[in-house]
Amino acid sequence: MVSMKRIDAIRDIAREAVQSDALLVCNIGIPCKELCSVCDTPNNFYMLGSMGLASSIGLGLALSLPGRKVIAIDGDGSVLMNMGSLATIAAQSPKNYLLVIIDNGSYGSTGSQPTATAKGTDLAQVARGAGNTAVCETDDSEELRRILGSTDHGIVVVRADPGNADVPNIGMCPEDILRRFMGVSFPPSRSV
């Protein structure tokens, strides 16, 4: 067991995203609710029903908006579902994209069943094996804050204890989340 909770890691990631005016994509389910409860901003894109796609959506945003920092929060279960994204991230290697994988060894949004990482799969090694050269690992809050403050791109694997925070549901429907996010990500052109 480590001593960090997922919601604490999310709070640190959100703080960094706000400080750097980054777009923040969060993976499916309860992590989205935790992010919304600690730091709801229009720069947050909450993935409410697409497991495994936060890393790919974050990469797409980073590639289409090269002048904007993009951070994606993904979980171990989601990354295990879409491991091909790690190879694509390595191949594209955008300098404005940071993927933070919170590895708590469980599928927290579906009942906390153990993932393969609880049984030995090492996502940092998988990311390196896929060709990513900027990979950091931590299970310490202070070190996570240091990494986030000094890292603009690459992959950070954060080991956390299993468990979900008791937070309310997000009070927006998916269409409202998308509309709000698109307004800050792709603002309409102003005519001169």
Q: What is the pLDDT of residues 90-121, one digit of tens each?
A: 999 999 999 999 999 988 777 778 889 999 99
CATH of the domain at 158: 3.40.50.970
Q: Which residues of 102-114 are buried (b: 16+ CB within 10 A; e: fewer)?
A: bbbbbbbbeeeee
Would you say residue 190 lies in a domain?
no
Would you say residue 191 lies in a domain?
no
Q: What is the pLDDT of residues 68-78, one digit of tens each?
A: 999 999 999 99
* H-helix segments, the chain: 6-19, 30-38, 54-64, 76-81, 84-92, 123-129, 141-150, 174-185
Would you say residue 77 lies in a domain?
yes
Work out how many domains the chain is built from and give that number: 1
Q: Which domain holds residue 147?
A: 6-183
Would you say residue 100 lies in a domain?
yes
Would you say residue 151 lies in a domain?
yes
- Predicted TM-score (pTM) of this structure: 0.94
Q: What is the pLDDT of residues 14-66, one digit of tens each?
A: 999 999 999 999 998 899 999 999 999 999 999 987 888 999 999 999 999 99
Would you say residue 92 lies in a domain?
yes
